[in-house]
Amino acid sequence: MTDRYDPHVIEPKWQARWEADGLYRATVDANRPKHYALTMLPYPSGNLHIGHWYAMTPSDARARYMRMKGYNVLFPMGFDAFGLPAENAAIKDGIHPIERTYTNIDHMRDQLKSMGTMFDWEREAISSDPEFYRWTQWFFSKLFQNGLAYKKHSPVDWCPQCQTTLAREQVWGEDRHCERCGTPVIKKALDQWYFRTTKYADELLDFDGLDWPSQVRDMQTNWIGRSEGASVVFETESGDQIEVFTTRPDTLWGATFMVLAPEHPLVTRLTTDEQRSAVGAYIEAATRQTEIERESTEKEKTGVFTGGYAINPVSGERIPVWIADYVLMTYGTGAIMAVPAHDERDFAFARMYGLEVRLVVRPPDSPGLNGAAMQEAWAGEGVMVNSGPLDGIAAGKGDGQSVKAAIAWLKEHGRGEGAVTYRLRDWLISRQRYWGAPIPIIYCPEHGQVAVPDDQLPVVLPEDVEWLPTGQSPLKLHPTWSQTTCPACGRPAERDTDTMDTFMCSSWYHLRYLSPHFEKGPFDPAEYDYWMPVDTYTGGAEHATMHLIYTRFFHKASRDMGVTKGPEPMLQLRNQGQILGPDGQRMSKSRGNVVDPDAQVSQFGADTVRAYLAFGYEWSEGGPWSDNNIQGPARWLNRVWGIAQPAGSAAEPDATTVQSLKRAQHIAIRDVSDDLEAFKFNTVVSSLMEYTNSLYRFREVAEGSPSWAEAVDTLVLLAAPITPHLSEELWSLRGHPYSVHQQAWPVFDPAMLKEDQVEVVVQVNGKVRDRIMLPPEAPESAATAAALAAPRVAELVDGKTPRKVVYVAGRLVNVVV
C-alpha cells in the first residue's frame, strides 16, 4: 500500500531542493546549444493572479521541454517595478512606493516559486533598482547623443486621472481613453521628450525572419500605417508655399480647393480681413472641442473660407483655401488638396459649401457623368479626363497608370515628388510622475540641454518627497533635488523633473537578465553574444502596438548605436489568451469573479493547477475558469501517481503485448513532443491522459516487467514539463538518480509504431459502410478485392462494376458505383 498523492508535502520539498542545488541556474556554455526562453515580467501589484499562471506555467513547461531536449536554457524572471499604482497608493495612504514595491516583490517572488517554475532567480532584474535604471538612463543618454531623443513643444495626450502625458500608443479606443485607467484623455500643449521611432518605421514593417503571430504583425503594420503617394507644393497668391501629401496625385487636376487644419501655421497669413473674425471664431470653437467630438466621423463636415487663394500647380487655376477640422495637424502636413469628385470627405465638404466638383476619373459605366451631377465621390477605376497630359491614361497605381505618370510630371516640373507618410508617431516618453527613472538631462542657461555624464549615472530618485495630489511630480516640488550644476560649465543648472515611461524599462529588460549586476555596461557582452537573441517570447497580445513595437525600436536603435547586434530582439513570439471568470466575463473585483491561484494551489497543488491551465484551453484563446473542469487533471495526477509506483519485478508478457505497449509509449512520445513544440499544451495533456489510460489497461498483464518499467518511466519523463514536482517525486520513488529534470527527453522511434494489420475503412460513395483488416502497405489490388468482398459492401455494390475506387493505404477504400 502506497501513500496517497499529497502535493502539499512533495511540492515544497522539491522546490526547496531545486533551489538549494541551483538546479535551474543557467550559465554560458559554448559547447551546448542555447535557448533563451522569455516570458513577460509582472508588475509587482501585490498578488499574482491566475492570468500570470496561465501565461507563465505553460511557458515554463516548454522551457523545461527544451532543456530536456539538450538545450542550455535561460528562463529568467524579474519585475517591471516602476509605475503609477505604487505612487497613487502612496498619495492615498502615505506608504512609500519603495517600501510597497519591494514588499510586494518579496511576496510575489514566493508566489512565483510556488508555481514550480524553472526561473533562474540569480538573474532576477528589478527595473526600479538603481543598478537597473542607471542603464535605462544610460540608454536615454545614448539616444539623446545620437539624435534619437529630442524635446518638443506640442499638443499631447494628457490623462487627467493619471496626471501625466501618454504616448500615442497608450491612448486606446474610439473614446481615446488611457490604456492604464480607462479615463478619456485630453489635449495639453507641453514640452516633452520623444524618441524618433518614426525613423525606424520602414524597418519595423519588415518582419522577415520573425516567427510572430500574423495578428501581431498585422496590428503593427496597421499601426505604423505606411502610405505611399506624393508631396505637392502649392503656392498661395501671397507667395507662401503650402505642402500637401496625397495618395492620389493623379487627381490633382480635379483639386478645386484646399483645406488646412485650423492649427496650420499659414492660416493667419492667408486669412483676409473680411474673413478674420469668422476664421478666428472657427479656430476658437475647434480648440474647445474634445478630441473625440472633433474626430467623430459621424459629425457633419464644417469649415470656414480664409479668403485666401492658392494656385493649382498643374492647371494654374486660382483655388480657394479653407480651414476645416476634418484635416488633422498631426497627419501628413496638416494641409490637403481637396478633390471632391474622388474623395468622400472632400465631396461632402464641397456639397455643403457649394464648391466646384470636377470629374477627372471617368468611371467605366458612366460615360456622361459630370461633377455637378455626381451623387457621391467616385474612388474606383476609370480613365483620366480633364487632366491635360494625363488624359486617356488608366487611373491606378500600377506601372504606366495615372499615379506614376502624375508623380513623373510633378518631378519634371519641380512641383512635387513621390513621398511616403506614416501614421506612426514618435514615442513620447516624459511622464509627470515620481515613481520612474528620472530623465537624465540638465538644463543650463548657457549650454541648454546637457546629458548627465555616464559616470554620474544613475540620477537617483530622491526618497524624501511629499505625497500630494497636486498633479505635479513630487520631483518638481522637492526643494533641492532639481538644483545641480552644469556638467559642461559647472554653473548652477536644473534637472529635468519628469520621469521616463515605464515601457522604456521593459524595452530592454531582457538584456539586463543577462547580467543583472554588471557594472561596466547595461549587460555583459560575453553573455549577450551567447544568449541573444531571445528564441521564444511569450506574453499577452495586448502589447502588440506598445511594448512589442517599443522593444523592436529599442533594439534597432541600439544596434545603430553599436550597443546590440542583429536585426531583431525576439525571434519567436507566441501569445496566450485570457482566463475569464467562471461566468465567462473578464475577471474583476467588482464582478466578484476573480479566481485566486493561491486558493487553488492549496486545494489541488501547483501541478494540478498547471495541468488544468495547460489542458483546459487552446492556449492562444483562453476561456472561462471552471471549478468543475479542474477535476479532470486533478484525477489524472492521482492516476499517474497510482500507476507509477515502483512495482517489483516480473517476467515480460507475451510479444504481442510488449509490442502494443511499446506502440502506445512511442505514440505518446511523438504526440507530446510535437505538441509541446507547437505550444499546443491542451493536447499535450490529453495525450498524456490517453497514455496513462492505456497503461491502466496494460497493468494487469505487464506490471513489473522490464517493458512496463520503461513505459512508466517514459510517462514520468513526458509529464515532467507539465507536472515537475509529481514527476520528480515519482522519479525518485522509482529509484532513479536526481533529477528527472536533468534527464534526456525520450526519443521517438517510428519503428515501434509498425503493425502487421491495420483497420481500413471501406466507404461506398463516400459513406463508411464497413471496416476490414489489411497490412498497412497492402497493394491497391489486394485492398480493392478485400473491400469488395466485405459483406456490407458486396450488398450495396450489388454486382455492379465500380466506376472508381479510391485507395489511401492504411486508411480507407472508397468504392464509387
The answer to whether 623 contacts RNA (rule: CB under 7 A) is yes
The answer to whether 591 contacts RNA (rule: CB under 7 A) is no
Please choose, from the candidates 354, 315, 369, 352, the residue with its C-alpha nearest in 3D space to the C-alpha of residue 337. 315
- Cα–Cα distance measured from residue 270 to residue 323, given in angstroms and rounded to the nearest whole number: 10
How many CB atoms are located within 10 Å of the residue 590 CB? 6
User: Under 8 Å CB-to-CB from 694, ≥6 apart: which residues?
Assistant: 664
* CB-side neighbour CA atoms (13 Å) of 379: 8
Contact by Cβ (8 Å): 261, 334:
yes
Contact by Cβ (8 Å): 719, 603:
no
Contact by Cβ (8 Å): 369, 362:
yes
Least distance between RNA and beta carbon 72 (Å)? 30
Binding residues for RNA, rule CB under 7 A, total 86
Among 17, 180, 345, 478, binds RNA (CB under 7 A): 345
Per-residue contact string for residues 738-767; x = within reach of RNA by CB under 7 A: ---------------------x-x-x-xxx
Among 690, 704, 736, 752, binds RNA (CB under 7 A): 690
- Is the CB of 240 or the CB of 690 nearer to RNA? 690
Among 227, 370, 449, 593, binds RNA (CB under 7 A): 227
Q: Which of residues 96-115 bind RNA (CB under 7 A)?
A: none
Q: What are phi and psi of 758, to 5 degrees?
A: -125, 155
- Maximum distance among all alpha carbons in the chain? 108
Among 31, 214, 480, 801, binds RNA (CB under 7 A): 214
- Is the CB of 480 or the CB of 628 nearer to RNA? 628
Least distance between RNA and beta carbon 138 (Å)? 31
Burial category of 216 from C-beta neighbours within 10 Å (exposed 0-12, middle 13-18, buried 19 and up): buried
Judged by CB under 7 A, the stretch of 361-369, 399-407, 445-453, 801-809 that binds RNA is 801-809
Least distance between RNA and beta carbon 177 (Å)? 10
- Cα–Cα distance measured from residue 796 to residue 309, given in angstroms and rounded to the nearest whole number: 86
Q: Which of residues 413-432 bind RNA (CB under 7 A)?
A: 421, 423
- Is the CB of 423 or the CB of 476 nearer to RNA? 423
- Is the CB of 72 or the CB of 665 nearer to RNA? 665
- Is the CB of 462 or the CB of 623 nearer to RNA? 623
Q: Which of residues 46-75 bind RNA (CB under 7 A)?
A: none
- Is the CB of 126 or the CB of 614 nearer to RNA? 614
Please choose, from the candidates 589, 593, 580, the residue with its C-alpha nearest in 3D space to the C-alpha of residue 621. 580
The 3 state secondary structure assigned to 436-489 is: CCECCEEEECCCEEEECCHHHCCCCCCCCCCCCCCCCCHHHHCCCCCEEECCCC
Rg over alpha carbons for the chain, rounded to the nearest Å, is 34
Least distance between RNA and beta carbon 804 (Å)? 5
Judged by CB under 7 A, the stretch of 122-130, 169-177, 268-276, 565-573 that binds RNA is 169-177
471: left (phi over 0), alpha (psi -120 to 50) or beta: left
Judged by CB under 7 A, the stretch of 49-57, 187-195, 328-336, 466-474 that binds RNA is 328-336
Among 128, 197, 430, 686, binds RNA (CB under 7 A): 686
- Is the CB of 139 or the CB of 347 nearer to RNA? 347
The answer to whether 470 contacts RNA (rule: CB under 7 A) is no
Q: Which of residues 522-581 bind RNA (CB under 7 A)?
A: 541, 545
Q: Which of residues 287-306 bind RNA (CB under 7 A)?
A: 294-297, 299, 301
Q: Which of residues 173-212 bind RNA (CB under 7 A)?
A: 173-174
Least distance between RNA and beta carbon 800 (Å)? 15
Q: What are phi and psi of 304, to 5 degrees?
A: -140, 140
Please choose, from the candidates 154, 152, 158, the residue with its C-alpha nearest in 3D space to the C-alpha of residue 187. 158
Provide the grid cell at 579. 482566463
DSSP calls for 572-617: EEEEE-EEEPTTSSPP-TTTT----HHHHHHHH-HHHHHHHHHHSS
The answer to whether 801 contacts RNA (rule: CB under 7 A) is no
Least distance between RNA and beta carbon 812 (Å)? 5
User: Under 8 Å CB-to-CB from 731, ≥6 apart: which residues?
Assistant: 713, 716, 717, 720, 738, 739, 740, 743
The answer to whether 328 contacts RNA (rule: CB under 7 A) is yes
Least distance between RNA and beta carbon 342 (Å)? 9
E-strand ranges in 269-426 read 303-311, 318-324, 335-338, 361-362, 383-384, 416-421
Judged by CB under 7 A, the stretch of 325-333, 360-368, 384-392, 484-492 that binds RNA is 325-333
Least distance between RNA and beta carbon 686 (Å)? 4
Helix segments in 81-147, DSSP class H: 84-93, 97-114, 130-145
- Is the CB of 457 or the CB of 672 nearer to RNA? 672
The answer to whether 334 contacts RNA (rule: CB under 7 A) is yes
- Is the CB of 146 or the CB of 315 nearer to RNA? 315
Judged by CB under 7 A, the stretch of 146-154, 477-485, 624-632, 718-726 that binds RNA is 624-632
Among 281, 782, 785, 806, binds RNA (CB under 7 A): 806
**Residue-wise burial string across 768-791, b where 16 or more C-beta atoms lie within 10 A, e elsewhere:** ebbebebeeebeeeebbebbeebe
Least distance between RNA and beta carbon 675 (Å)? 8
Q: Which residue has the cell 513505459?
A: 711
The answer to whether 814 contacts RNA (rule: CB under 7 A) is yes
Judged by CB under 7 A, the stretch of 9-17, 519-527, 598-606, 805-813 that binds RNA is 805-813
Please choose, from the candidates 352, 323, 325, the residue with its C-alpha nearest in 3D space to the C-alpha of residue 340. 352
Least distance between RNA and beta carbon 670 (Å)? 13
Q: What are phi and psi of 559, to 5 degrees?
A: -60, -45
**Residue-wise burial string across 70-82, b where 16 or more C-beta atoms lie within 10 A, e elsewhere:** ebbbbbbbbbbbb
Provide the grid cell at 601. 494551489
- Is the CB of 252 or the CB of 429 nearer to RNA? 252
Among 222, 277, 585, 602, binds RNA (CB under 7 A): 222
Least distance between RNA and beta carbon 626 (Å)? 6
607: left (phi over 0), alpha (psi -120 to 50) or beta: alpha
- Is the CB of 457 or the CB of 783 nearer to RNA? 783
User: Under 8 Å CB-to-CB from 575, ≥6 apart: which residues?
Assistant: 213, 215, 216, 538, 539, 540, 541, 620
Least distance between RNA and beta carbon 81 (Å)? 25
* CB-side neighbour CA atoms (13 Å) of 738: 8
Least distance between RNA and beta carbon 511 (Å)? 28
Among 18, 102, 409, 617, binds RNA (CB under 7 A): 617
CA 612 to chain centre: 25
Residue type, 603: Q
Among 105, 327, 383, 740, binds RNA (CB under 7 A): 327
Distances (CA, A) of 706 to 1, 644, 646: 22, 14, 12
- Is the CB of 8 or the CB of 491 nearer to RNA? 8
Least distance between RNA and beta carbon 788 (Å)? 15
The answer to whether 635 contacts RNA (rule: CB under 7 A) is yes
Judged by CB under 7 A, the stretch of 445-453, 524-532, 557-565, 617-625 that binds RNA is 617-625
The answer to whether 366 contacts RNA (rule: CB under 7 A) is no
Residue type, 640: V
Q: Which of residues 238-267 bind RNA (CB under 7 A)?
A: 245-248, 261
Q: What are phi and psi of 97, to 5 degrees?
A: -55, -35
Least distance between RNA and beta carbon 290 (Å)? 12
The answer to whether 734 contacts RNA (rule: CB under 7 A) is no
The answer to whether 435 contacts RNA (rule: CB under 7 A) is no
